[in-house]
Amino acid sequence: MITEPLIVIAVCIVVYGIFSARLSNSIISAPMIFTLAGLAVGGAGLGIVEIDIDNHVLEGFGELTLGFLLFADAASTNSRKLAENTRIPRRLLLISLPLTILVGTVFAIWIFPDLAWQEAALIAAILAPTDAALGLAVVSSKHVPERIRQGILVESGLNDGLALPAVLLFAALSFSMMETEGQNLGYWLRFAVQQIFVGAFVGAGIGAVLGKLVHYADGKEWISHSFRNLTCIGVAILTLFCAHLAGGNGFIAAFVGGLAFGSFCSRRAGSLTNFVEEEGQLFSLIIFFFFGAVLLPAAFLHVTTLCFIYALLSLTIIRMAPTAISVAGLKLKWPTIGFIGWFGPRGLASILFLLIAVEDEEMGRLTEIERVIYITVFLSILLHGATAAPFSKWFGGSAAAKADSTGG
């Protein structure tokens, strides 16, 4: 029955919504509430919610949700100021991301000696992308300098798409698909380039053309009030799925499309994207609920101490050391580097990438890879959710934030 979980989800929405203004500045986040609620009523708790959800259903729902969020975040970004401050996100994407996968692979090989190097690399690749939704208090905080906020936001917006080719490559190697399908290293390099550039091209094209069209139509008052939000949803969906049809990455297309849409439809970008952001947040909270109710219980039954050790390392050293290396030379203060390094939460992208990687596996049959991913995401929901608001306020008032608030 789907009735019981929908009732629980509705109760969570109402209860959190009533106190949301106060809770948004506290150590309690919405993803935390929904995940713990799912855990409480699912198989690991009261057992009143028993649902058999197919991997493909969660995968499709998760992809649409992530696309909505990426589009909305990008559309509300100040693209002019972003163009003036590209050094931080550029370093995080081009240096920190591959280094994070490399360091994560080395630690996984060391901690899980029974895993092949391909499986260790798959864990690292799945956990490399970050999720700004889990640190919403950071990217929306007025305490944090805009330069730092946008750097974290752009990183989380683009690293999903950049990490996906690596996830698919290591998944293919792990499941011995490469020899059977004749796919060599050259194939995967071409695939990665195609995913990135085609996705960006399609997203930029659709976002720019439709953004200009919507802006013009809105100025002529052709668009009714009730369709302003729906129009934005249509653009977000087009960027996501047209990129797939063209052979590109939908997540990159959604984020780049959002940037282009916001640039060409600046007068209405904020109001037009509010509904998409709200819908995306609702969808993401539903996924976090099912994550707690359906996916986590099986992980807890088979979890080991080594899984927790790797999860903690993934959220700290594996993320923060590459971040520090990547921004070397930018003359950032150490508190700023630590702040950027810490707020690399793992969430929807990691869950979605895992479902993509094991889409042919049975959900109840957990491997070491799945256990590590689920535990890492769970700890990230708790730790990053609890620290986002207080750390943002502390950092915003620090001398380091004032010193690093400007720069190229």
35-53 pLDDT, tens digit each: 999 999 887 777 776 666 6
**pLDDT score for 333:** 93
Q: Which of 87-91, 103-107, 295-299, 317-321 has the lowest mean pLDDT?
A: 295-299
pLDDT, residue 121, reads 94
Mean pLDDT of 188-212: 86
Round to whole Å and give the CA distance between 122 and 104: 9
pLDDT at residue 209 above 90? yes
Residue 97 has pLDDT above 70, yes or no: yes
Output the CA angle 322-328-330, nearest 5 degrees. 130
Q: Give the pLDDT score at 180.
A: 45
Total domains present in the chain: 1
The mean per-residue pLDDT over the stretch 341-358 comes to 87
More confident residue, 360 or 95: 95
Looking at residue 363, its pLDDT comes to 41
- Structure token pair of residue 55: 């991997």
Q: What angle do CA 370, 151, 86 make, to 5 degrees?
A: 125
According to the model, what pLDDT value does residue 279 have? 73
DSSP for residue 42: S
Least confident of 40-49, 125-134, 140-149, 208-217: 40-49
Once rounded to an integer, what is the mean pLDDT over residues 169-177? 71
Whether residue 362 is contained in a domain is answered as yes
Q: What is the pLDDT of residue 178?
A: 47
Range among 168-177, 224-233, 247-256, 338-347 with highest mean pLDDT value: 338-347
Residue 405 within any structural domain of the chain: no
Given a cut of 50, whether residue 365 has pLDDT beyond it is no
At residue 176, the pLDDT reads: 55
pLDDT at position 201 is 93
The residue ranking higher by pLDDT, 135 or 155, is: 155
Alpha-carbon span 127 to 344, nearest angstrom: 10
| Predicted pLDDT at 71 | 85
The mean-pLDDT minimum among 25-29, 58-62, 318-322, 343-347 falls in 58-62
CA atoms within 13 A on the CB side of 76: 20
CATH of the domain at 346: 1.20.1530.20
Q: What is the pLDDT of residue 272?
A: 55
Q: Residue for token digits 């106190």?
A: 19
> What's the start-to-end Cα distance of the chain, in Å?
54
> Does 408 reside within a domain?
no
**pLDDT mean across residues, the chain:** 83
| 406 belongs to a structural domain | no
* Predicted pLDDT at 2: 67
Cβ atoms of residues 55 and 351 within 8 Å: no
> What is the model's pTM?
0.83
- For the stretch 105-115, pLDDT in tens is 999 999 999 88
Which pLDDT belongs to residue 360? Answer: 47
Rounded CA-CA distance 109/19 in Å is: 44
Q: What is the mean pLDDT of residues 81-97?
A: 81
Report which secondary-structure segment, H or E, holds 381: helix 368-396
Is the residue at 295 inside a domain? yes
Look at residue 5 in the predicted model and tell me its pLDDT: 80
Query: What is the rounded CA–CA span in Å between residue 366 and residue 303?
Result: 10
Which domain does 389 fall in, by range?
3-397
Element at 189 (helix H, strand E): helix 185-219
Contact between 322 and 387 (Cβ < 8 Å): no
Q: Calculate mean pLDDT across residues 397-404.
A: 88
With a CB cutoff of 8 Å and minimum separation 6, the contacts of 108 are 115, 119, 120, 121, 123, 124, 310, 372
- Of the segments 66-70, 229-233, 277-281, 398-402, which one has the largest average pLDDT value? 398-402
